[in-house]
Amino acid sequence: MSYYSQASRVFFGGPVTRTVKILIITNVAVFLVLAFSELAGSHVLISYFGLIPTRVTHQLMLWQLVTYMFLHAEILHLFFNMLTLFMFGNDLERHWGTERFLKYYFITGIGAGVCSWLVAMDSAAATIGASGAIYGLLLAYGLLYPDRIIFLNFLIPVKVKYLVLLMGAIAFFSSLSGRESGISHIAHLGGMLVGLVFLKGKDWLVQYKIHHEQRRREQLKKQFEVYYGEVRRKIDDKKKGPTIH
């Protein structure tokens, strides 16, 4: 259900889109398979499809950078990731279309996995969950709809742009602390950073090229002014003629 005001929009996801629905169903189905396999005493899914940096580094299990996104070991982890996907993903898919939405989802998710791998290439600890991609979606939503209001913890109204800043700050400082909390803050931060580069990188490149071209023109102008000044000085000296004592 959605509610509108003159200043902003209070929302809760809106009608579910096709791709978001498929992603949620897929994650729930994989969670059930993982849960039953764990009950049977098998850990093969985590070992082969969770993101284990040392296996990516030394055994080239590159698929783990994708498959880890669909594994969730705890019901609350799955619930909050899928809730966030529902809340922010529907509007993003409607705004971008299915192809761009899926591309962004996987790029941020894989990018978050790459960030986790880069900071601990020889770690044997498994990283699982869609949180990297989810944080990427949150970043994108904050850029596209900064003044929309959600209820933090279902109680506190806050604009999405402030929520993005808060979540980014938490991920950043938590990643600096270096404490083992069972949460991959590097993946969260990585998903946001990769999403930011994906969305704004082209604009930054264009601005850099414009700035570089302006600097080049200014340098050429200065060189021309120096050269022109020297030529004018020589011409003026010739016009003066010889000096008679």
Q: What contacts 119, CB < 8 A, 6 or more positions away?
A: 186
One of 72, 77, 185, 188 is an active-site residue; which one? 188
Residue 77 annotated in active site: no
Q: Which residue is associated with the tokens 């498929």?
A: 22
Angle subtended by helix axes 131-144 and 160-177, to nearest 10: 140
Q: Are 188 and 115 in contact, with CB atoms under 8 Å apart?
A: no
The DSSP secondary structure of 107-140, one letter per residue, reads: HHHHHHHHHHHHH-TT----B-SSHHHHHHHHHH
Question: Rounded to an integer, what distance in angstroms lies between the CA atom of residue 90 and that of residue 12?
Answer: 10
Question: Rounded to an integer, what distance in angstroms lies between the CA atom of residue 27 and that of residue 82?
Answer: 8
One of 116, 131, 175, 184 is an active-site residue; which one? 131
Question: Rounded to an integer, what distance in angstroms lies between the CA atom of residue 214 and that of residue 227?
Answer: 20
Question: Rounded to an integer, what distance in angstroms lies between the CA atom of residue 96 and that of residue 56?
Answer: 32
Residue 184 annotated in active site: no
Q: Biggest alpha carbon distance in the chain?
A: 113
Q: Residue 50: CA atoms inside 13 Å, Cβ hemisphere, count? A: 20
- Catalytic residue numbers read 131, 188
